[in-house]
């Protein structure tokens, strides 16, 4: 059955539509893949009331039906969105030890129809295969959205923001800055001995989630402070009920077109933004000229070239962009781009398996770095450093790296951050960088 695409005449903001969808159908199984209006973040996708969903939980590699990659390989055609946790690596690298997260290893759902928003052209589309469901959604949108309701939503949102907040003192930090610095020094000792070359050390903090604060409320607060091209919120259902992912990620992990062309965009190197233009430019210049950040980025580019080489055609892997400065609302980053073409007998699932977990959030050599991180990190990462997966109607994949992200598990919310450690890392500066990444998330919720 061919896709039905319908462009609706009247533009409405994705946030307004998202709130009205949840008001009508509830938020279980809701997805909101957001963008920042840039070329990378041009499109927004909303989905509600999923048709099908699959879930994998725990690390029981002996059970074939728990294998998240097997589930992904057997997905029927459709538009699928969900998350894959970092610890799914227990299936790709079973010889390594992995912590067990309380959150689902994989949760993924299909939606028909989906709503797509073109932020550049300000167009709103309905896409799907089921004419009846499309008509129901179209009629709902036409009957629901008019100016008075838009104003009512705006006032309701303001009231919600006033009463929903998480004080900074509510957060329980798993590592202090001093403890984080000490672990950085341990990694540097391993690097000096030749055990590893680089490792991405992460930590987290946790707080009670106010009863009235829904995942969509959390994301609405975050997006105002930190818009990003690979952002969004996914709210689990059924076996993942009470779980949600909220992300303001700037990093694409893997994109795979049906034609076989693939791309990854690793980020390595971070400096804070400053309201003073001169100081902001100084931070950017420091990042551009930093040998440490250059070495870290190039090391991960080489790792990802190797990962892609496991499933791509010989000679197809290129690096069209290396060490490019990208500036976001809260931080400057160095980004590189690696491209290739899949072998004709390989799919996006093969690509995902070959590259999992992502090189930019692990280290080099990847397996040894992951083992060392297992020894040092205080908690499981769960969906953090995993990916939001988006599989379109044509069978193409796009995915992010779940950094700058929050995880909700029932009445608790957690935030995570990390830094790449190399031989000449300064342990105190790495602790500062970890705070640059984490504090915008926490401040947005106060």
Q: What is the dihedral of CA 348, 351, 357, 358, to 10 degrees?
A: -90
Q: Is beta strand 198-208 parallel, antiparallel or unpaired with respect to 405-409?
A: unpaired
Contact 421, 201 (CB under 8 A): yes
In the numeric block, the tokens 């992200």 are attached to 405
Integer CA distances (angstroms), 377 to 201, 356, 363, 394, 410, in order: 7, 19, 14, 39, 23
Radius of gyration of the chain measured on its C-alpha atoms: 21
Those residues with Cβ within 8 angstroms of residue 13's Cβ, 6 or more apart along the chain or in another chain: none
What is the distance between the alpha carbons of residues 341 and 311, in angstroms, rounded to a whole number? Answer: 8
- What residues act catalytically? 251, 268
Residue 218 φ then ψ, to 5°:
-60, -50
Euclidean distance between the first and the last CA atom of the chain, given in angstroms as a whole number? 48
Give strand ranges (E) for 212-330: 230-235, 243-249, 252-256, 261-264, 267-272, 318-327
């Amino acid at each position: 059955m061919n896709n039905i695409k319908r462009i609706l005449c009247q533009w409405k903001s994705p946030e307004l539509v998202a709130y009205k969808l949840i008001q009508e159908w509830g938020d279980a199984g809701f997805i909101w893949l957001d963008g920042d209006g840039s070329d990378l973040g041009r499109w927004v996708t909303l989905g509600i009331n999923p048709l099908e969903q699959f879930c994998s939980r725990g690390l029981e590699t002996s059970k074939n039906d728990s294998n998240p990659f097997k589930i992904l390989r057997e997905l029927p055609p459709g538009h699928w969105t969900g998350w894959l946790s970092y610890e799914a690596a227990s299936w790709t690298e079973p010889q390594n030890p992995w912590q067990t997260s309380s959150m689902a290893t994989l949760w993924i759902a299909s939606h028909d129809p989906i709503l797509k928003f073109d932020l550049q052209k300000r167009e709103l589309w309905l896409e799907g295969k089921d004419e009846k469901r499309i008509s129901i959604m179209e009629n709902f949108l036409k009957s629901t959205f008019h100016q008075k309701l838009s104003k009512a939503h705006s006032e309701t949102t303001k009231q919600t923001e006033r009463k929903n907040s998480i004080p900074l003192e509510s957060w329980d930090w798993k590592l202090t800055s001093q403890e984080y610095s000490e672990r950085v020094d341990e990694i540097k000792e391993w690097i000096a001995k030749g055990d590893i070359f680089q490792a991405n050390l992460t930590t987290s903090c946790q707080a009670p989630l106010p009863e009235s604060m829904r995942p969509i409320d959390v994301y609405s607060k975050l997006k105002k402070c930190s818009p990003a091209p690979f952002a969004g919120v996914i709210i689990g259902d059924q076996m993942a009920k009470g779980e949600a992912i909220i992300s303001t990620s700037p990093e694409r992990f893997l994109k795979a077109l049906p034609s076989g062309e693939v791309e990854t965009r690793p980020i390595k190197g971070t400096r804070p933004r400053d309201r003073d233009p001169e100081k902001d430019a100084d931070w950017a210049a420091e990042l551009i000229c930093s040998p440490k950040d250059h070495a870290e980025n190039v090391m991960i580019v080489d790792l990802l070239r190797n990962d892609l080489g496991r499933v791509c055609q010989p000679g197809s892997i290129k690096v069209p962009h290396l060490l490019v400065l990208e500036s976001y609302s809260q931080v400057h980053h160095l980004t590189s781009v690696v491209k290739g073409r899949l072998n004709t007998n390989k799919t996006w699932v093969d690509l995902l398996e070959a590259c999992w977990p992502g090189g930019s959030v692990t280290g080099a050599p990847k397996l040894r770095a992951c083992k060392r991180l297992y020894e040092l990190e205080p908690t499981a990462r769960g969906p953090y450093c995993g990916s939001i997966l988006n599989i379109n109607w044509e069978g193409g994949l796009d995915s992010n790296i779940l950094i700058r992200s929050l995880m909700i598990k029932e009445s608790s919310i957690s935030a995570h951050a990390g830094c790449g450690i190399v031989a000449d890392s300064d342990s105190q500066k790495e602790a500062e960088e970890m705070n640059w990444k984490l504090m915008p998330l926490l401040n947005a919720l106060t």
